[in-house]
Amino acid sequence: MTTDDSDSPRKTLTAKRDPATDTPADAPKRTRSGARARLVAQTERSRQQTQRMAATELPPKPAAGENAGDEPAKPAVVHRPPPPPRESRFGRDERPRSESRFGRDDARGDRPDRGARPERSGASDRGDRPARSPRPDGGSRFERPDGRAAGPRSDRPERSASDRGSADRSSAGRSSPQRSASDRGADRYERGGRPNDVDRSNRAEGRDRPARENERSSDERPRSRNASVPNDDRDLSANAASRFAVQVPEVERFGIFASCPQGLEDALAAEMQALGFDDATPGRAGCQFSADWEGVQRANLYSRLATRILVRVAQAPISTEDDILELARATPWERWFGAEHTLRVDTSAIRSPMQSLQYCNLRAKDGICDRLRDLEGERPSIDTVRPDARVHLFLTADTATLYLDTSGESLFKRGWRLDKGEAPLRENLAAGMLALAGWDPSAPLLDPFCGSGTILIEAAWIALGIPPGIARPLGFERLRGHDAAKWQAVKDEAESRIQSHLETPLVGYDIDPQVIEFARNNMERAWLADEAIRFEVGDARHIEAPAPSGWIVTNPPYGDRLPLEDDTLLPEWSSNLKRNFDGWQLHAISSDMSFPQALRLKAARRTPLYNGGLDCRLFGFDIKSGDFRNT
């Protein structure tokens, strides 16, 4: 070893290896995960950024008096200011809360300038519409994989063919088309949009997010990348007019299901046809028809036989409970109610394979609440007693249908019957009995077992033309977008046609003085004059006919209501009918199928009816002396 060799340091002992340069390419790379990995990555990025900023040096500053006309020298290290914070789509400085989020005026021309923005190709074709700054990720919010923006939907205002064509040509050179805030807001919602007078306070506070993939309608979902794309070089004006034309009906129509007690389906369909719903057809426990929103209101106001008016909002084939969740999540409930409302969900089924209707009800409720929470930041509260909004889920063997209840409380609750006798009839069942009996409102009517007066008060309202929903609140009045002034005008028009005087003699008897007092109190709450109905204490076995002919429509005692020791009630009543009511028509409801034999009359008609859960018949008799049987 020479002196030079001994003086030189040993590289093998003192040299430090650089892992970034000396590590073999095929060596496995050490990976970290969790908080430690994020801290190491952040430290490394900060170190590299500092090195880059230190390496960025500008030419030295010229001496005084040298290059006087040049710009002053810049600092050696460029400190880039942080980007301005991203503003909310609907900031408080843009528009007040009370304005509609779908208003086009505030999105075009009237909006405050947010600073200079990069100019985009094709801007001249779009007129003076202000350009929006590009998204941080460089793409449009609703951009499809093939580079084209999602097509317009039915809730977007229709533009002229020339505007649509120019907009299509201008978008050919853009990789990420941008749209105004109101356009993007309108795209978030599915068919029908939302009423324009909805308070969008949650949006004004910046609670906004991109719509999830499974929440978009089929029109909004991205198409396949293999989809055919028209040639950008050719004129698309003609194609754009046909491709983007939106057929928006002047008046939106809904599928309606009106429920009623079983046995009244045909009578309810006839009533709806008389109200102007020509396509009303009877079904199981109700009837179906179509109507606009004003028709929905009129059905709630005028129908005497319906229990509820349900608007069909979604229907789809299902096989599992998760399909119910997805169907409820894809339905635009925000159009009707939101987090500020209380909610109730009910479920019924016919031949459904689902194991638990309670679990199906829970999945529907979860889907509704998840959608509203994603859109508005909160979910509605559940109220099973007096909810603001009611949703009904109906299941069959392979389908699920979601209905919006527009009635609220059942329509048979007219608002006047607070005092009830023993086993009272529901008001719509009483009205249905009158309809099935064929009672003429100008003919006398007698109820020898009147109880709390339900049948006779319903008859008085029919004769006077009083709408059954005139004195009670209805469910649609608490939904979003309700026009209270227009609804009041509809009720005012209905009140103007109410007759002021009742010519028809209506008479009711009952052996119990207390229930007669109940009937008089109910009549007073129904805004009927004292002389409108004659309620008296009397025994059906001894009363006399108030007119030579007329109708007897009644709910006589039967089953548990018929005293066992008083087995002579029906035979003695039939004897009185023979003596005093020759030429009258008798219509009585009973769950006792041997009722005609006990009454010694031959039934001319037997109409199946359900009084609550009781399978009953409405027996019709033409009272004539020769028809009585000898005992």
Give residue-wise pLDDT tens across range 590-630: 999 999 998 989 999 999 999 988 899 999 999 986 554 44
Length of the chain: 631
Alpha carbon distance, N-terminus to C-terminus of the chain: 146
Give the pLDDT confidence of 305-357 residue by residue, as tens digits: 999 999 999 999 999 999 999 999 999 999 999 999 999 999 999 999 999 99
C-beta atoms surrounding 280 within 10 Å: 23
Instruction: Say yes or no to pLDDT of 575 above 70.
Output: yes
Instruction: Say yes or no to pLDDT of 228 above 50.
Output: no
Give the pLDDT confidence of 75-123 residue by residue, as tens digits: 433 444 444 544 433 333 444 434 433 333 443 444 444 444 444 444 3
Q: What is the pLDDT of residue 47?
A: 82
The highest-level CATH class for domain 427-472+487-627 is alpha beta
Q: Which architecture characterizes domain 253-405 according to CATH?
A: 2-Layer Sandwich (3.30)
E strand or H helix at 514: helix 513-525
Strands (E) located in 445-547: 445-447, 506-510, 534-537
Distance of CA 407 to the CA centre of its chain: 12
- Burial (Cβ within 10 Å: 0-12, 13-18, ≥19) of residue 631: exposed
> What are the boundaries of each domain within the chain?
253-405, 427-472+487-627
Tokens 């009995």 belong to 433
DSSP string covering 61-117:
PPPTTSSTTSPPPPPSS--PPPPPPPPPTT-TTTS-TTS-TT-SGGGTTSSPP----
CB 379 within 8 A of CB 373: yes
Give the residue, 499 or 4, on which the prediction is more confident: 499
C-beta atoms surrounding 130 within 10 Å: 14
Of 166, 196, 184, residue with least CA distance to 220: 184
Give the pLDDT confidence of 128-141 residue by residue, as tens digits: 444 444 444 444 33
d(CA 569, CA 617): 20
CB 405 within 8 A of CB 308: yes
26 confidence band (pLDDT: 50, 70, 90):
low
d(CA 327, CA 363): 10
Taking CA atoms, 61 is separated from 29, 56, 73, 80, 203, in Å, by 46, 15, 5, 20, 51
